[in-house]
Amino acid sequence: MALFLTEREVVGLLPMDECIEVLDEAFSHAGAGQVEVKPRSRIRMPNGFFHFMSASDEGHGVFGYKAYPSFAGPAGSKFLVMLYDFESGELLALIEAGRLGQIRTGAASGLATRYMARQDASTVAVFGSGFQARTQLEAVCAARDIKQARVYSRREERREEFARRMSEQLNLNVEAVASPSDCVAGADVIVTITSARDPVFAGSELAPGAHVNAAGGNHWQRREVDEDTVTRSSVIVVDNLDQARVECGDLLWLEARGSFRWDMAHELQDVVAGRVDGRPSPDSVTLFESMGVALEDIAAAQLVYRKAREQGIGQELPF
């Protein structure tokens, strides 16, 4: 029988360090040709959208999909992952995936940081103070020995609350700052996780050797990083080129201007597999554009499922 797992159960089964490791495995499988990913599709509905994305991962022995609506009003979004056995097609699990998505989105940035940031990176700048920003900072701290972090968002009370919460959670000095320039100055790793339609910092202010995780712009109308950030980047990496060509506003806008071509971008699987050097030199500026792909959901879901079976967690479903 299939297993049903709730949001609360998922959180207990998916610590950040383990999620980063399982995504490393999944992108290694992708680099070995064991993965197929179908980019997110969106159906326009009267009051919102229905989103669907799927993947198979032979290396982990699973396939599946994530589906969710995004509607205005009290319905909001309800994320669900359906996980299947790769060989038999048996339904393994139905998993509530709101928190799973939050954790794996952070973990993807953590994975990119592992391969693309300087080994001695110690300072982080975070743009955005919502719930997704929490796991972004947590993941970067899991990938590097971070000593200090700064956060900027438009609402002072939100960034102050984020700084207090994350300082306590991570036992780290997290400072809320009053301007984008104050946030980005001298930072080794920069994270953007916003819904901005215009760039949130000036790429000219990036320090040599900075690594940028742009994780919020998964829609063609959104932009978090500017032209300077892209043109200064020695390496530009996306989690999936097919999905980025549809969703990555940061790069689509510059393609239209002629300052970016898709042959300038690489996939994360090629960095993980060692075919592309994610950090060519200590002073290189590097950029990871995270759209969020179904492979990440399926990899995280199979880890949650296997741990739940081992620990006797979850509710058996009669099918």
Q: What percentage of the chain has pLDDT greater than the value 70?
A: 99
Residues 6+ apart with CB under 8 A from 267: 30, 237, 238, 239, 240, 241
Instruction: Say what the pLDDT of residue 219 is.
Output: 73
What's the CA dihedral at 260, 265, 245, 212 to 10 degrees? Answer: -90
Q: Are 124 and 150 in contact (CB under 8 A)?
A: yes
- Rounded CA-CA distance 96/78 in Å is 8
- What is the 3-class SS of 195-208, one letter each residue? CCCCCCCCHHHCCC
Instruction: Say what the pLDDT of residue 75 is.
Output: 67
- Rounded CA-CA distance 302/121 in Å is 31
Instruction: Say what the pLDDT of residue 292 is.
Output: 95
State pLDDT tens for residues 272-295. 999 999 999 999 999 999 999 999
Instruction: Say what the pLDDT of residue 77 is.
Output: 80
Measured at the CA of 139, the angle between CA 136 and CA 143, to 5 degrees, comes to 140
State pLDDT tens for residues 20-48. 999 999 999 999 999 999 999 999 998 89
Average pLDDT over residues 69-81: 85
Instruction: Say what the pLDDT of residue 242 is.
Output: 96
Count the Cβ atoms, other than its own, within 10 Å of residue 105. 25
Flag whether pLDDT at 101 surpasses 80: yes
Instruction: Say what the pLDDT of residue 319 is.
Output: 77
Average pLDDT over residues 118-143: 97
State pLDDT tens for residues 192-249. 999 899 999 999 999 999 999 999 877 777 899 999 999 999 999 999 999 999 999 9
Chain-centroid distance, C-alpha 256: 25
- What is the 3-class SS of 129-186, one letter each residue? CCHHHHHHHHHHHHHCCCCEEEEECCCHHHHHHHHHHHHHHHCCEEEECCCHHHHHCC
In the chain the domains, ranked by start, together with CATH numbers, are: 3-101+295-316 (3.30.1780.10), 118-292 (3.40.50.720)
- Rounded CA-CA distance 107/183 in Å is 22
- Rounded CA-CA distance 124/138 in Å is 11
Decide: helix, strand or coil at residue 89.
Answer: coil
- Rounded CA-CA distance 183/247 in Å is 26
- Rounded CA-CA distance 119/278 in Å is 12
CA count, 13 A, side-chain hemisphere, 25: 17
Instruction: Say what the pLDDT of residue 220 is.
Output: 73
